[in-house]
Amino acid sequence: MRIAVLGAGAIGAYVGAALHRGGADVHLIARGAHLEALRRDGVRVLSPRGNFTAAARATDDPHEIGPVDYVFLGLKAHQYAGSGALIEPLLGPDTAVIAAQNGIPWWYFHGLSGPLRDHRIEAVDPGGAVSEVLPVRRAIGCVVYCSTEIESPGVIRHLEGTRFSIGEPSGAVSDRCRAFSDAMVAGGLKCPVEPNLRDDIWVKLMGNVAFNPLSALTRATMIEMCGHPGVRGLIAEMMRETVAIAGATGCHPSISIDRRIAGAARVGHHKTSTLQDLEAGKVLELEAIIGAVVEIATLTGVPAPTLRNVYAAVDLLARTVTGTPVPVA
C-alpha cells in the first residue's frame, strides 16, 4: 500500500510514522527545516506509549512520488483549494483522499438525504474551488481524536489519543476504508470505520466551534475558559446552538454538553490550534470550524445568535491580523 502524507506536520508526520511502522510504503511531503530533519533522521516520535523512529521517505516534490493508493491530508481546510499542484501528481484513477480536518468538510451534504442533498457549502467550498481539486468521489472523511505537536524539526511529541475515525460520505463501509483502517491498526493506531461519520464530526465540532474562536478572542487555555463562569456559560450556549444545527441535518452528537466541557477542562493549560496559529501570525482556520456552522444554521432556519456574534468578532480579529479588507456594511 502506497500512502502520501501531504502536509506532514504534527498530525501528518505522526500518522505517517505509524503507517510506516505498520509496513506501509509511506512518503511524507513537507518543507523547510522540518523536511531536512525528516530526510536526515526520519520521524522521531516521543510518546507516553513508547518512543520510536520511522525512516519514511520525505520530499517537497510530489512528482518524485507519483500516484499512490491514498493521500492523507494534513493541511488546514483553508489550504485545500490552493493545493491542486501538490495533489494532482499523487492521484491515480482510484486514489482516495483522507481529509483529516477540523470542522465541516466540503463534502458534508454529498449524498445526504433531505432537501439539502448535494448542496455546496460556500464557507468551505467557495465557488466550488475545493471540489475541483478534491472531487467528492475520492473523499474519505476523518475525525481526529489525537493531540500532537512539533517539538523541533523532525520530532513529534504525541500528547494523547490515537483514534482516527474514518468514513465514506455515502455511509458505506467500503473496501478502501477497511484497507486503510487495517494499515492504521497495524501501525498502532485506532481507526474505526463509521457508517455515520457525520455524528462524530459534530461531537468534535461541539468543542471546536466554541473553544477555538473564543481562545483566539481571549488568549486563554482550555482550562482557563472552562473555569471562568461567564465564558463557561458562553461555551455551553454555543454548544446548544450547534447541537440544534446538527439535529436539523439529521445528526445527533452522542455526548452531553456538560460532559463535552468537562472533557475539555481535563486537557488543562492547552492552547487550541487557532490560538497557536494566531500567535504565530498564520491564517486562522475559521470557516470550517464556525463559518460553515453559521451557514448551515441559515440554510436550515435554526436561530444561532451566539454563534453568529462570536463568528463576527473572531472574523474581524482574523482580518485585522492578516490585513484582509473588512467588508463594508
What is the reported pTM? 0.93
For residue 329, what pLDDT band results from cuts at 50, 70 and 90?
A: low
For residue 21, what pLDDT band results from cuts at 50, 70 and 90?
A: very high
Do residues 245 and 302 make contact, with C-beta atoms less than 8 angstroms apart?
Answer: yes
What string of H, E and C letters represents the secondary structure of the chain? CEEEEECCCHHHHHHHHHHHHCCCEEEEECCHHHHHHHHHHCEEEECCCCCEEECCEEECCHHHCCCEEEEEECCCHHHCCCCHHHHHHHEEEEEEEEEECCCCCCCCCCCCCCCCCCCCCCCCCHHHHHHHHCCHHHEEEEEEEEEEEEEECCEEEEEEEEEEEEECCCCCCCHHHHHHHHHHHHCCCECCECCCHHHHHHHHHHHHHHHHHHHHHHCCCHHHHHHCHHHHHHHHHHHHHHHHHHHHCCCCCCCCHHHHHHHHHHCCCCCCHHHHHHHCCCCCCCHHHHHHHHHHHHHHCCCCHHHHHHHHHHHHHHHHHHCCCCCCC
Mean local confidence (pLDDT), 195-199: 95
Residue 328: the pLDDT is 66
190 is catalytic: no
Q: What is the CA radius of gyration of the chain?
A: 19
Mean local confidence (pLDDT), 167-184: 97
For residue 322, what pLDDT band results from cuts at 50, 70 and 90?
A: confident
- Per the residue annotation, which of 76, 204, 271, 282 is the catalytic one? 204
Residue 327: the pLDDT is 76
Mean local confidence (pLDDT), 90-102: 96
Read off the pLDDT of residues 250-279 as tens digits, 9 standing for 90 and up. Answer: 999 889 999 999 999 988 888 899 999 999
